[in-house]
Amino acid sequence: MSISLASSFEQAYGRAPQVETRAPGRVNLLGEHVDYNQGVVLPIAIHQAVRLAAATTPDDLVSLYALDLHEQVSFRLGEVGKRCDLDGRVLPGWALYPAGVAWALQQAGLSLHGMQVVYSSDVPIGAGLSSSAAVEVAFATTWQALSEWEVDKLTLAKLCQRAENEYVGVSSGLMDQFASTCGVEGHVLCFDTRSLEWGTLPMPPETAVVIADSGIRRNLTTSAYNDRRAACEQAIELLRKYLPGIQSLRDVSSVELAAYSPFLPDVIQRRAEHVVKEIHRVDQAMIALRRGDARMFGGFMFASHKSLRDLYEVSTPELDLLVEIARGLPGIYGARLTGAGFGGCTVNLVEEDELAVFIQNLGEAYQKKSGRQISIYQVRASGGAEARWV
């Protein structure tokens, strides 16, 4: 535990914490907007994470101190469904995530201790690196450590997803919480969002992953994310007239979509085309990972960005500029936007020996063409969430 987090806990509550928890963010290398279409996704957990210090209380009082925001709030576990603090005021947006986890765990019949918490994060908020899922997983992992029950990692991820969907009100898939709970150091996670089976494949050798944060932020609950999801559901309903056995766009081949696309409204057709082809790209990219072929994998990343830009229409001029600059730099294998889009970050697969020069060149070229400075940094494939007694 960092000294600042431990000392902040002692300063806030007058005692030492009992548990230290870390829950990583994630970056999705390939398979964007396919998680809610029952496709396979290829994320990695990253070493940037939510870190939390906590100790139990003798009652059901939960006291939160968000160190980065310098904000505090308290609520009771028995009244978490009201979404209010002790004074009856509506919980601030940042507190809905831990409160939602408390709600979801209790809805599943799990008993929780009240607790005092201080937490901090170096996962950029709103950048598409799953800062909210990392908060959810950190709290769920902490409550599991402090309580008398234990569930497997995937079940814990599903409970965190329920918190985000039903309590916070964001229609996210399971990938974010899954990656935060199940990350494996040095490996890409291969997660089948239909069967929930998963495995790992090693990162391509002698490569590095670079995140370029455009600085453009979006709010998922008010963005067009839910519109894209609804478009996919509409595509399924319309295609069922011709393909009655389909459950999701995963069941539609590129040939079938080409045959029946004239019967879809133009926007719905483009949304479906991205998803169907992205699912196929992931299948081929897994072959590239098994071969350790970074250039082949990177080619799929570039193709994914083009599809997200032109068919799914979730890119921004800033993200497009970052990808185009990266494409022309030495050492690049592939680049694309990552996360829901509408802002956030690009993810770049880079030759390890060119890492430092790539980061410098990308930042300088972007500033020259846009007039703006941005954050660019390396991330590493890390292990999943863990709690330990201190």
Question: Residue range 111-127: average pLDDT?
Answer: 90
Q: What is the mean pLDDT of the chain?
A: 95
pLDDT tens, position by position, 290-349: 999 999 999 999 999 999 999 999 999 999 999 999 999 999 999 999 988 888 899 999
Q: Report the alpha-carbon distance of residue 328 to residue 67 in Å, rounded.
A: 40
Exposure string for 309-323, b = 16+ CB within 10 A, e = fewer: bebbebbbebbbbbb
The pLDDT score that the predictor gives to residue 173 is 79
- Angle, CA of 211, 44 and 6, to the nearest 5°: 80
Q: Report the alpha-carbon distance of residue 334 to residue 380 in Å, rounded.
A: 16
The pLDDT score that the predictor gives to residue 89 is 97
Question: Residue range 52-76: average pLDDT?
Answer: 97
The pLDDT score that the predictor gives to residue 221 is 46
State what percent of residues in the chain have pLDDT above 70: 97
Q: Report the alpha-carbon distance of residue 336 to residue 224 in Å, rounded.
A: 19
pLDDT tens, position by position, 188-201: 999 999 999 999 99
The pLDDT score that the predictor gives to residue 220 is 52
The pLDDT score that the predictor gives to residue 46 is 96
pLDDT(126) > 50: yes
Which is catalytic among the residues 68, 87, 122, 176? 176
User: 201 has which bridge partners?
Assistant: 188
The residue with tokens 């004239």 is: 262
pLDDT(372) > 70: yes
DSSP class per residue in 267-329: HHHHHHHHHHHHHHHHHHHHHHHHHT-HHHHHHHHHHHHHHHHHTS----HHHHHHHHHHHTS
Question: Which of 135, 151, 142 is closest to 116 using CA atoms?
Answer: 142
pLDDT tens, position by position, 242-255: 999 999 999 999 99
Instruction: Tell me yes or no: is domain 3-202+383-389 CATH 3.30.230.10.
Output: yes
Pull the structure tokens for residue 292: 């350790």
Number of CB atoms found within 10 A of residue 365's CB: 17
CA end-to-end span of the chain: 9
Q: Report the alpha-carbon distance of residue 41 to residue 53 in Å, rounded.
A: 31
For this structure, is 176 an active site residue? yes
